[in-house]
Amino acid sequence: MNSANLANFLMIGRSAQRRVLTLPGTVPRSALMISDTFNIAEVLPDECREADGAANTFKLFFVFESYLRDFVLTVLSEADKENWWDSVPQNVRDDVSKLEETEDKKKWMNLDSRGKLAMTTLGQLISIVDDPSNWKKHFESLVGDKGLLQQTRLIVHTRNTICHMSTVTPEEHERVKQVMRDWFRVVAP
């Protein structure tokens, strides 16, 4: 077999392999171990394949929300290191208080300790930035345009979809990436 035929053979084989891996019921390449010896992907291959796809979008939100939390905390604490939490809208503070009470009751769980801002959602973070007193005093000079906040609000539903164990379309995944690029263009990490 000459090198051109061999290259063609390998290319066809790889294409076929990729296609087979997308067929329902085919075990995905990546294992999902729930113990040292049990790969749940062998039992629930379609669900594991969907989880692999959703994981990429989830990772984007994990990074983006962490970034926004750090951004909000930095800006508010630079203005008032001791009382920055007072700048958070009351409805967000109330929601966080309820979550703190719930976590306090669940001391049996092995959770990392979390600060107040770690208990906020993407939508709540945007509402902190967009709060009239915060926007003018702290964020307008950094963000510049509330259009960026509006674009971020558009992906909150996508965030909730992923965080409630559902998949999203490639188009929505790309929208999340675009919003992140827009933020990082304006407020670099």
For position 188, what pLDDT does the model report?
Answer: 80
pTM for the structure as a whole:
0.80
Write down the domain spans for the chain.
Answer: 44-186
Whether the per-residue pLDDT at 122 is higher than 90: the answer is yes
Q: Report the DSSP beta bridge partners of residue 39.
A: 33
The pLDDT of residue 13 = 66
**With bands split at pLDDT 50, 70 and 90, how would you rate the model's confidence at 111?**
low
Rounded CA gap, 155 and 41, in Å?
A: 29
Q: Which long-range contacts (CB under 8 A, 24 or more apart) does 157-166 make?
A: 158/57, 159/61, 159/65, 159/121, 159/122, 162/54, 162/57, 162/58, 162/61, 163/58, 163/61, 165/54, 166/54
Rounded Cα–Cα distance for residues 144 and 142 (Å): 6
Query: Has residue 21 got a pLDDT over 60?
Result: no
- Predicted pLDDT at 2: 78
